Structure 1
Amino acid sequence: MMIVHELVGTENLFAGQLKEGYYVVREKYNMLDIHQCSADVFQQFDCGTEEVITVVFDPGNEYSLVCLDVYTFENKSPSLAELKQTLQIKHHDLFQTEAVSV
């Protein structure tokens, strides 16, 4: 038995509201349970979906992204408003606030 995560979609969220170089990436996976029945026969069972929200920083060079936080949601993900509220609480320094001029 083996659970396989198959990436089916990825997108950047809130890119315009974060400091330069910081991103919120949503990846959606199909989860499959694979059973080997014999040497060359496999059975595949659908185990639903999983969304992974990752807050990353891109240092702007050839090295890999720096992962700041990961949130995983199985089968039901929060709304964008709920997610934004959670991220603003945990990463309030990244979200820009608009200055009101009079």
Structure 2
Amino acid sequence: MIVHELMDMEHLFAEQLQEGYYIIRETYQNVLIEPKGGDAVRQVDAGTEEVVTLLFDPGDEYSLLCLDTYTFTGGIPSLTELKETIAAEYDVFVNRHRAASL
């Protein structure tokens, strides 16, 4: 059995996102739990897992929508690579040229 323990949470690209969108990164420590006989168990470190979640808040109370989740077991990519991955599927980043012309 693999147990996922939340280790860290932070907002990525907070100032670059359009209003209502949030990107949250969570780091989980994975632990393999094995019975060792009797009431004892053995815990083995199974590495970490990075999970990036894209959320949208339409402004209604209790109405966060999960748009997508990205899981990385070999470490998280650079912020530039992550931004390119999300931007390929979702138009959630503020375009500086468009924002400057408004």
Q: TM-score, normalised by structure 2?
A: 0.88
Residues 48 and 75 of structure 1 are in contact (CA less than 8 Å); yes or no, is this contact kept in structure 2?
A: no
TM superposition shift of 1:40: 1.4
Percent identity over paired residues? 54
Q: Secondary structure at the match of 1:68?
A: strand
Structure-2 residue corresponding to 1:15: 14
C-alpha root-mean-square deviation of aligned residues, in Å?
Answer: 1.5
Counterpart CA distance in 1 for 2:72 and 2:8 is 15
In structure 1, list runs of 5 or more residues that go unmatched: none
TM superposition shift of 1:39: 3.4
Counterpart CA distance in 1 for 2:61 and 2:39 is 41
Counterpart CA distance in 2 for 1:28 and 1:84 is 18
Structure-1 residue corresponding to 2:78: 79
Runs of 4+ residues over 6 Å off in structure 1 = none
Q: 1:38/1:61 Cα in 2 relative to 1: closer, same or farther (>3 Å)? A: farther
Structure-2 residue corresponding to 1:67: 66
Structure-1 residue corresponding to 2:36: 37
Q: Secondary structure at the match of 1:11?
A: strand
Which residue identity lines up with residue 92 of structure 2 in the other structure? Answer: L
Q: Secondary structure at the match of 1:59?
A: coil
Counterpart CA distance in 1 for 2:38 and 2:19 is 51
In structure 2, list runs of 5 or more residues that go unmatched: none
Q: Secondary structure at the match of 1:95?
A: coil
Aligned residues: 99
Q: TM-score, normalised by structure 1?
A: 0.88
Looking at secondary structure, tell me which structure has more helix per residue. 2
TM superposition shift of 1:64: 4.8
Counterpart CA distance in 1 for 2:74 and 2:41 is 24
Counterpart CA distance in 1 for 2:42 and 2:35 is 6
